[in-house]
């Protein structure tokens, strides 16, 4: 059985190849159907990965949420938080375990004649590295006391350390940032990139200093860690109430990895539903096209069917022959659709500089679906062929 | 001697219902063919020769009467079993060769072996042997479109022999051939027959029929004569 399946496949392949244009045209419906789904799913998976990376680069893992100044992301936010808000929130909302404060800023660092533009010049709280993940491999991180007393100290990423000091020690050296001189007290461990941000090329200073540096005492962002992660929404709500009263404004917003991902997922689900509808229609049309061409093929080969029966083909063999051929058309169409779809998605993602992820579940599903289309629409022509009376088939001109 | 009977046809009738009228293709045939016989069936067009061949070859079932092939009662077999009989016990040769155009000569010969479930190496070997026997060793990898009529028919004979059948049924095998190629096919049949292969051929050509050992004449679906070919009539 398996053996004759292989034989049928070889012969089906030849039959398809002897009529290339017709086979290709027949595949078109399946190609388009599979192509559209694969393109969308691949772009969608890329979007998800991109969004996840972006959120992770804000430091929001699954155990915290981000509180950020501004509501509407289309206008630059005017931060209204201050350093003292951290202690205030921890006091008013006892469900909070920790709060990391972060002020992202830009600028260049200079050592001697060398100047580097770090990926991030961040003003952060003393718990930053512990909570956002990371270690110091040389020296130490700054303490809460140093933050409170606005010490001009700095912890730098390993890439910066290497570019400035090579294999030599960084700790103890002084670096210039926006005219001020900072003492290096630590070098962070290499961590690579998260999304667009190269973590190894960041520098951090006490958040209280960065306020000086940016010319305002306001803070952009907090990462809030609840004691019990399952209470994340309740904690968020409490923080909202507390802070609204305190700063008399609701011009801030929250982000959780799950929250944002679920928005992305919802949009993708709606889009996927829509495209799947179109794909289903084109697969249906493609399937009917396959059925039609297979009926033509049966008619063209009535005599062949008679001969095959005369030399001993059973009904089963004839059914198999035409089913394999129909399945091959649709499977081939599916595979072409998958390849073109992934390639198309790759081009689009490359163009918009997003993340490219092949959704293997979608590839497998597309393969199964396209093969099933052939099987489903090939059944009727195959049985028509198998039911032919051999004598009539042999006499057929 | 019962063991030697390959074909036993008893009171076989075959009607075709054409609207209101029934066409009597065969009107009650009795026939016995023994092993190693070489039978020619003759008769005017439309007298039922092909119908009889189809019934003997298990491609068709009689309306009434009995067919035994190698003493197996065909009536009792289902379609799949008939297909297996056609595959293993019968070798058909047609007037129009009926080779599959996309397959090479050797692949055409292999086809009955594929349906018999024979694996590739054994199949190739057998098909090669058969093509050698029919004298086409140098044409094994040609497609039917690259073969002459006589060569095509020899491929068809090799295909018919593939599963060592009990009987070869050839319906006007020389009908589409020039007389020289036809003569060659008949010589091939004679040679096969001398090796013990049982043959029934349909022909319009008395010359050809004389090469066999027995001539059956049909008329209007009935046997009207059944004679041994004597040395004199040759
Ligand atoms: N499928 C069919 N339907 C109706 N009549 C048929 C069919 N097949 C054969 N016949 C008739 O049966 C008779 C015998 O046909 P056939 O066996 O082909 O004759 P032969 O081979 O001797 O020329 C003819 O009259 C033919 O018209
Ligand atoms: Mg005839």
Tens-digit pLDDT profile for residues B45-97:
999 999 999 999 999 999 999 999 999 999 999 999 999 999 999 999 999 99
Q: Is residue A209 one of the residues assigned to a domain? A: yes
Distance of alpha carbon B108 from alpha carbon B154, whole angstroms: 11
Q: Is the pLDDT of residue A260 over 80?
A: no
Q: Does one domain contain both A234 and A197?
A: yes
Q: Does one domain contain both A86 and A215?
A: yes
Residue nearest to atom 18 of ligand 1 (CA): B50
**Residue among B57, B51, B8, B58 at smallest CA distance from B26:** B51
Distance of alpha carbon B198 from alpha carbon B80, whole angstroms: 24
CA geometry: angle at A76 spanning A72 and A81, to 5°? 85
| Dihedral sign computed on CA atoms, order A327, A330, A336, A340 | negative
Domain membership of residue A40 as a residue range: 2-55+262-395
Residue nearest to atom 14 of ligand 1 (CA): B48
Distance of alpha carbon B114 from alpha carbon B162, whole angstroms: 10
Q: Does one domain contain both A266 and A145?
A: no
Q: What are phi and psi of A175, to 5 degrees?
A: -125, 145
Is residue B57 less than 8 Å (CB to CB) from chain A? Answer: yes
The whole-chain average pLDDT of chain A stands at 88
Question: What are the angstrom distances between the C-alpha of B69 and each of A264, B9, B58, B88, B168?
Answer: 73, 9, 9, 12, 12
With CA atoms as reference, the chain A residue closest to B54 would be: A391
Q: Give the pLDDT confidence score for residue A174 in this predicted structure.
A: 92
Q: Please, are residues A275 and A42 in contact by the beta-carbon 8 Å criterion? A: no
Q: Examine the fold and report which residue of A202, A220, A250 is the final residue of a domain before the chain moves on.
A: A250
Q: Which two tokens stand for residue A171?
A: 């700790």
Q: Examine the fold and report which residue of A217, A250, A283 is the final residue of a domain before the chain moves on.
A: A250
Q: Does one domain contain both A143 and A225?
A: yes
* Candidate from A120-124, A385-389, B147-151 with smallest mean pLDDT: A120-124
- Arithmetic mean of pLDDT, B158-185: 95
Top-confidence residue, A65 or A309: A309
Kind of pairing, strands A120-124 and A202-206?
Answer: parallel
Q: Does one domain contain both A217 and A116?
A: yes
Q: Is residue A65 one of the residues assigned to a domain? A: no
Domains and CATH numbers, chain B: 5-228 (3.40.50.300)
Is residue B100 less than 8 Å (CB to CB) from chain A? Answer: yes
Closest ligand to residue B46's CA: 1
Q: Is residue A70 one of the residues assigned to a domain? A: no
Q: Is residue A111 one of the residues assigned to a domain? A: yes
Q: Which residues on neighbouring strands pair with residue A254, listed in sequence order?
A: A67
pLDDT in tens, A267-284: 878 888 888 888 889 899
Q: Is residue A67 one of the residues assigned to a domain? A: no
Q: Does one domain contain both A50 and A110?
A: no
Q: What are phi and psi of A26, to 5 degrees?
A: -65, -35
Q: Does one domain contain both A11 and A111?
A: no
Task: Quote ipTM for the complex.
Answer: 0.95
Q: Give the pLDDT confidence score for residue B1 in this predicted structure.
A: 45
Q: Does one domain contain both A135 and A225?
A: yes
* Candidate from A190-199, A364-373, B4-13, B135-144 with smallest mean pLDDT: A190-199
Q: Is residue A191 one of the residues assigned to a domain? A: yes
Is residue B154 less than 8 Å (CB to CB) from chain A? Answer: no
pLDDT in tens, B141-170: 999 999 999 999 999 999 999 999 999 999
**Residue among A163, A189, A193 at smallest CA distance from A175:** A163
Protein residues whose CB sits closer than 6 Å to any atom of ligand 1: B 16, 18, 23, 25, 45-51
Nearest atom in ligand 1 to B47's CA: 22
Q: Exposed/middle/buried for A198, CB within 10 Å: 0-12, 13-18, 19+?
A: middle
pTM of the model: 0.74
Q: Give the pLDDT confidence score for residue A353 in this predicted structure.
A: 75
The CB density around residue A292, as the number of other CB atoms within 10 Å, is: 13
Q: How many CA atoms lie within 13 A of B103 on its CB side?
A: 22
Top-confidence residue, A76 or A206: A206
pLDDT in tens, B1-10: 456 899 999 9
Q: Does one domain contain both A245 and A370?
A: no
- Arithmetic mean of pLDDT, A26-49: 88
Q: Is residue A377 one of the residues assigned to a domain? A: yes
Share of chain A above pLDDT 90, in %: 52
Q: Is the pLDDT of residue A323 over 90?
A: yes
Q: Quick one: residue B90, left, alpha or beta (phi over 0 = left, psi -120 to 50 = alpha)?
A: beta
**DSSP code of A71?**
S
Q: Is residue A256 one of the residues assigned to a domain? A: no
What is the number of structural domains in chain A?
Answer: 2
Q: Is the pLDDT of residue A42 over 90?
A: no
Q: Give the pLDDT confidence score for residue A358 in this predicted structure.
A: 87
Q: Examine the fold and report which residue of A227, A250, A273 is the final residue of a domain before the chain moves on.
A: A250
Distance of alpha carbon A137 from alpha carbon A140, whole angstroms: 8
Distance of alpha carbon B157 from alpha carbon B168, whole angstroms: 9
Q: Give the pLDDT confidence score for residue B234 in this predicted structure.
A: 56
């Amino acid at each position: 059985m398996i053996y004759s399946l292989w034989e049928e496949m070889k012969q089906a392949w030849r039959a398809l190849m002897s009529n290339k244009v017709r086979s290709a045209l027949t595949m078109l419906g399946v190609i388009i159907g599979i192509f559209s789904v694969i393109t969308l799913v691949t772009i969608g998976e890329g979007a998800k990965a991109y969004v996840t990376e972006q959120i992770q680069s804000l430091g929001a893992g699954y155990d915290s949420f981000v509180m950020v100044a501004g509501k509407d992301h289309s206008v630059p936010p005017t931060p209204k938080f201050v350093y003292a808000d951290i202690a205030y929130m921890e006091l008013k909302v006892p469900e909070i375990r920790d709060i990391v404060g972060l002020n992202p800023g830009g600028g260049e660092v200079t050592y001697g004649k060398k100047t580097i533009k770090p990926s991030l010049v961040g003003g952060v709280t003393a718990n930053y590295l512990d909570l956002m993940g990371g270690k110091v491999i040389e020296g130490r991180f700054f303490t809460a006391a140093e933050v409170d007393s606005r010490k001009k100290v700095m912890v730098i990423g390993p890439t910066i350390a290497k570019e400035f000091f090579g294999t030599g020690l960084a700790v103890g050296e002084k670096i210039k940032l926006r005219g001020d001189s900072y003492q290096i007290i630590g070098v962070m461990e290499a961590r690579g990139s998260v999304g667009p941000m190269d973590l190894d090329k960041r520098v951090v200073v006490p958040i209280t200093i960065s306020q000086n540096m940016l010319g305002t005492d306001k803070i952009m962002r907090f990462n809030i860690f609840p004691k019990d992660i399952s209470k994340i929404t309740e904690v968020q709500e409490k923080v909202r109430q507390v802070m609204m009263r305190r700063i008399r404004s609701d011009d801030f917003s929250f982000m959780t990895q799950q929250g944002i991902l679920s928005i992305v997922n919802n949009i993708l689900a709606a889009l996927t539903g829509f495209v799947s509808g179109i794909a289903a229609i084109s697969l249906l049309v493609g399937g009917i096209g396959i059925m039609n061409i297979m009926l033509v093929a049966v008619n063209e080969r009535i005599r062949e069917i008679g001969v095959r029966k005369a030399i001993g083909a059973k009904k089963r063999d004839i059914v198999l022959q035409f089913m394999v051929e129909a399945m091959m058309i649709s499977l081939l169409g599916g595979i072409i659709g998958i390849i073109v779809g992934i390639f198309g998605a790759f081009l689009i993602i490359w163009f918009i500089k997003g993340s490219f992820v092949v959704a293997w579940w979608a590839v497998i599903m597309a393969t199964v679906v396209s093969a099933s289309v052939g099987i489903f629409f090939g059944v009727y022509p195959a049985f028509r062929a198998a039911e032919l009376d051999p004598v009539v088939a042999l006499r057929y001109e | 001697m019962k063991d030697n009977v390959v074909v036993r046809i008893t009171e076989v009738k075959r009607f075709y219902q054409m609207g209101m009228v029934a066409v009597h293709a065969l009107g009650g045939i009795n026939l016995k063919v023994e092993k190693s016989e070489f039978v020619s069936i003759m008769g005017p067009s439309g007298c039922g020769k092909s119908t009889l061949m189809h019934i003997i070859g298990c491609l068709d079932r009689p309306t009434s009467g009995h067919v035994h092939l190698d003493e197996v009662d065909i009536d009792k077999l289902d379609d799949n079993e008939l297909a297996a009989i056609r595959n293993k016990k019968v070798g058909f040769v047609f007037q129009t060769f009926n080779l599959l155009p996309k397959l090479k000569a050797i692949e055409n010969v292999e086809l009955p072996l594929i349906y018999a479930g024979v694996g590739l190496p054994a199949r190739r070997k057998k098909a090669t042997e058969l093509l050698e026997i029919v004298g086409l060793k140098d044409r094994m990898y040609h497609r039917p479109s690259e073969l002459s009529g006589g060569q095509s028919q020899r491929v068809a004979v090799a295909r018919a022999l593939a599963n060592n059948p009990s009987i070869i049924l050839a319906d006007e095998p020389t009908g589409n051939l020039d007389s020289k190629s036809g003569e060659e096919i008949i010589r091939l049949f004679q040679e096969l027959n001398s090796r013990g292969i049982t043959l029934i051929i349909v022909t319009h050509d008395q010359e050809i029929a004389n090469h066999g050992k027995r001539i059956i004449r049909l008329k209007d679906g009935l046997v009207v004569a059944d004679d041994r070919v004597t040395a004199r009539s040759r």
